[in-house]
Amino acid sequence: MKKWWIWIGLIVLIGIFAVPEAYAYLTKRNYESEAVEEIPDGYEVATLAGGCFWCMEPPFEKLKGVKEVVSGYTGGEVRNPSYEEVSAGGTGHIESVQVYYDPEVVSYDQILDVFWRQINPTDDEGQFVDRGYQYTTAIFYNNEQQKEIAEQSKQALASSGRFDQEIVTPIREAEAFYKAEEYHQDYYKKNKFRYDYYRGNSGRDDYLDRTWGTDRELDLPKKEAS
């Protein structure tokens, strides 16, 4: 009987880890990304890089006024890069997200306040367990107003005394943004067990809790739970 339970356990683990990977490989894994050019009517876009894009979707998607968060790649010159190309390095792209938000409900300043609370802005060699330029941080401004707000936000953080090292997150002009393969979108929902396991072992939450403490969660309106 004990052997049967061992086999059942193995089958469950295979289902959790192997099936999603097989599905991704057979459907979207080998496909290229696609350029994103249109912004939904009535919304503005914030383009942000904070390391693994799986971890950057949830904090923004729960905010009231945010329509959608799209994972993708930006900053490089390679057109329609694949995940494998970007993650291997050398494309010039970094993993990023585009946050589509209603400025009448949530402001760009507030989006950036949330952003700073997801990253280590003093690390210019990657983020947490993910190392390499492709996992570094950045704010990509889409207009001059965003640039000014981003610079003020970064300066305020540097002057806050919360960090004893330089804030190295660059503020860069937005470039072509390529939507990542479909299996990456909302990964934290589609593969919750694997996402939770990865995030729990990445060191991100431990760092953010130490750094921000009770200030980690902002008092911003959230979407109603569905």
Query: Which residues form the catalytic set?
Result: 52
Angle at 72 between CA 67 and CA 78, to 5 degrees: 145
Among candidates 95, 111, 103, which has minimal Cα distance to 54?
95
Q: Which residue from 17, 46, 69, 16 is spatially nearest to 180, judged by alpha carbons?
A: 69
Give me 82's structure tokens: 């694949």
Tokens 């494998």 -> residue:
84
Q: Which residue from 77, 40, 97, 63 is spatially nearest to 223, judged by alpha carbons?
A: 63
CB-based contacts of 68, cutoff 8 Å, min separation 6: 40, 61, 100
Residue type, 99: V
3-state secondary structure of 102: coil
Closest CA to 71 of 219, 178, 188: 178
φ, ψ of residue 49 to 5 degrees: the values are -120, 130
